Amino acid sequence: MVLRCRALARRILYFGGIRPTRFAGSERRRTNGCRRDQSQPRGVHCEMLRCYGSAGTVMIAERSWLNTQRTLAIRLTKPALSNVWWPLRLRVENEAAEKALILWLNSTLGLLTSLAHRVPTRGAWIQFKKPTIQNMPVLDVLALSANQLRTIASAYDKIAGRELSTIVNMAIDPTRIAIDDLFCQVLDIPSVEGLRAELAEEPIIKLRYCQEQREVTPEPDDQMQFELI
């Protein structure tokens, strides 16, 4: 099967026009899904109600510490707003497609694509701008067959409650490995085990050079150069 990807917001997702304003806690998210959310506006004025029209069930982290973050995307059971997550929603209501997209964004291939579209700020502290996310290629979940979506959605229901390890430990994270194996099976693509291990060694994630001890050949001093001449 050919791996079909599209820009995130061109066909697959819809971005609200107002900046997110509620539902915090990107560093505390440890799973792909939330059982409950507390994002319903209560006793707020009309402006807040208008903002709530931009709410979504798909959340992508706006800012992240790659060395401590566990997930870059989550799915909520109800539309919500956020001050640290970008809320999005599918152009076509499809719960199975949402689940497939969330798993993809937290897979090795999804993380690799996301990190390639990051906006660097300071070391492992990165952010994702709205225009960047809109043009980021992702798996075209709406082009998957009904059987493929059903398989991925079923796996999501089993994986969503499992704890993800930090991204820096992705190479040995059993939950991340299960997500990768799922897509390799459904999409009929080669194993990404080697890619996952290499991505975990990236300096932007580990915050140190790939080769910690480098042999530096000292330059000869003036006296040495004189003797050689």
Residue 61 located in a structural domain: yes
Tokens of 79: 């539309």
Host domain of residue 106? 5-205
Residue 211 located in a structural domain: no
> What local confidence, expressed as pLDDT, does residue 64 receive?
85
Q: What is the pTM of this model?
A: 0.73
> What local confidence, expressed as pLDDT, does residue 1 receive?
40
Residue 128 located in a structural domain: yes
In one-letter notation, the amino acid at residue 60 is I
The number of C-alpha atoms within 13 Å of 191 and in the hemisphere containing its C-beta is 6
Query: Structurally, how many domains does the chain consist of?
Result: 1
Residue 224 located in a structural domain: no
Residue 225 located in a structural domain: no
Distances (CA, A) of 91 to 79, 99, 131, 218: 14, 14, 18, 60
127-170, pLDDT tens digit by residue? Answer: 888 888 888 888 999 899 999 999 999 999 999 889 999 999 99
- What is d(CA 36, CA 47) in angstroms, rounded to the nearest whole number? 24
Which residues of the chain have a pLDDT value below 70?
Answer: 1-53, 208-229
Residue 212 located in a structural domain: no
Q: Which residues contact 5 (CB under 8 A, 6 or more apart)?
A: 137, 138, 139, 140
> What local confidence, expressed as pLDDT, does residue 179 receive?
96
Residue 136 located in a structural domain: yes
Residue 53 located in a structural domain: yes
Q: Which residues contact 144 (CB under 8 A, 6 or more apart)?
A: 97, 100, 152, 186
> What local confidence, expressed as pLDDT, does residue 81 receive?
83
